[in-house]
A and B are shown apart, each in its own frame.
Chain A
Amino acid sequence: MTVELAVALLALLVALFALVALVAVYARVRALEAARTTGLSGYAAVVGRPAPPAVRPRPGQRAGLVAVLDADCALCHAVWDALGGVADAGVRVVALVDRAEAFTPHEGAELLTDPGVWAELFEGYTPTVLQLDAAGTVVQRVFVDAEADLPALFRIGSPA
């Protein structure tokens, strides 16, 4: 083997090592980027963001209550019945449901079936109750369980 050939092979080896290192660094940077943009659950948080326009309080109203309900969940029907008792003209009360026909209509509370809005507000659990401020920003979210005090939950400004 000549000296020139040995130097050329060595240079090739160094170039190959540099390429492998570059690919490893690239993979690691991509992994860090992926971790940064998707957050804990892989989705952006609902609280602190504007709710979809379809459920925001109307002009003149000071707050909104949005309940994400599932027709097949017994507790969801209890939440819907309790929402009927809110009776506050300053608060828009909306129940976001999968099947409106499964719920008995109430005065003062709206039933809304909209897969797009559902996808934006559903957090993997029903029933969930969201409180909105006058501008329609979600200020609070509560996963409702059987022990929840529903009237207290629907009081605007109540702690989570």
Chain B
Amino acid sequence: MTAAMDGAAAGTVGAPLRTTRIAPSGARVALTVPEVFGPLRWYASTRFTGPRTARQFFLAPRGQYRLIPRHVLPGARERRVPLRGADAVVYEAADRSDAALVLVGPHHEATTWFGGPAPTEDGLAALLETFRFTDDAAGATLVPASDLLLRQAGVSVIGRGERATLVARPAVEALPTLPDWAGLRLPAGELWRADRVLDAAGAALAGGTIHEWRYLLAGPSAAIDLVLHGPESGRPPLALTEDQLLDALAALGAEWEG
């Protein structure tokens, strides 16, 4: 990015915030997010598939699992298995209609849902032996214990705040979902805008504003999907003209290393 562009972007949309997150696969993701999109809390997601396993994990800052027995599965039974560097906490609904496993580290947690009764003790032990969970202040890593048994896919790093939600994925995984036509050239890659899935009321509120679209920025190593929260999300609209938004998007970027 040229110095002139940096200056222009900083003038209207705030200085870009640079942060490096660790994706669930262990990849380092260097992110640049303009201040106008607000402070973000970092989440992640990943999926595992294998001969006898198909499982999705959602990673979040530590502490959210405490809401499961209070709000999601009231009265759930709790089973805690201490591990090295983390705890495995299993919640099972009182009527056994659903259950969740949460790997709780010092900084982050990883949750997967069973959609039925919790696994038995042996089943849980086998499941825990299938993965490696390593927590760090910059993000938790969750990988298969053996590449021969499981394939990891659907890795994403998610930033969520009051003003925006962004999802960063490795470019290789995002490639099949990109439009066939050329996007707008920006310093960090190509930019497209796409329809958002909104109900009629939401579409009416967002219509004709920058909130009507989601923005897809694809660079050489990573792609970013960005949604700006506005009236359709019960929040005030972002006070940005289209040109200012373009300045902000020009300052947005992600590099996926590994």
Contacts and interface: CB of A to CB of B under 8 A. Distances in A.
A39 B145 CA distance: 9
B131 interface: yes
A97 B62 CA distance: 25
Contacts of B105: 125, 143
Contacts of B154: none
Contacts of B86: 40-41
B85 A124 contact: yes
Interface string B161-180: 00000000000000000000
A40 B133 contact: yes
A124 B133 contact: no
A36 B146 contact: no
Nearest to B88: A40
A31 B103 contact: no
B129 A143 contact: no
B106 interface: yes
Nearest to B81: A45
A44 interface: yes
Interface string A44-76: 111110000000000000000000000000000
A17 interface: no
B153 interface: no
A35 B106 contact: no
A99 interface: no
Contact residues of A: prevailing secondary structure: loop
A46 B82 contact: yes
A16 interface: no
Nearest to B146: A31
B134 interface: yes
B133 A41 contact: yes
B148 A28 contact: yes
Interface residues of B, number: 25
B130 A35 contact: yes
B142 to A, nearest CB: 10
A160 interface: yes
B94 interface: no
Contacts of B149: 31-32, 35
Contacts of A39: 83-84, 128-129
Contacts of B106: 123-125, 128, 143, 145
Contacts of A125: 85, 105-107, 135
Contacts of B134: 41, 124
A41 B106 CA distance: 13
B52 to A, nearest CB: 12
The 4 closest A-B pairs by CB, nearest first: A47-B82, A125-B106, A143-B106, A35-B145
18 contacts: A28-B148, A31-B146, A31-B149, A34-B146, A35-B145, A35-B146, A40-B103, A40-B128, A41-B85, A45-B83, A123-B85, A124-B106, A124-B134, A125-B105, A125-B106, A128-B106, A141-B82, A160-B87
Interface of B: 62, 80, 82-88, 103, 105-107, 128-135, 145-146, 148-149
Given A36-B129, A123-B84, 18 more contacts: A31-B149, A32-B149, A34-B145, A35-B129, A35-B130, A35-B145, A35-B149, A40-B86, A40-B88, A40-B103, A40-B128, A41-B83, A43-B84, A43-B85, A45-B82, A45-B84, A124-B106, A125-B105
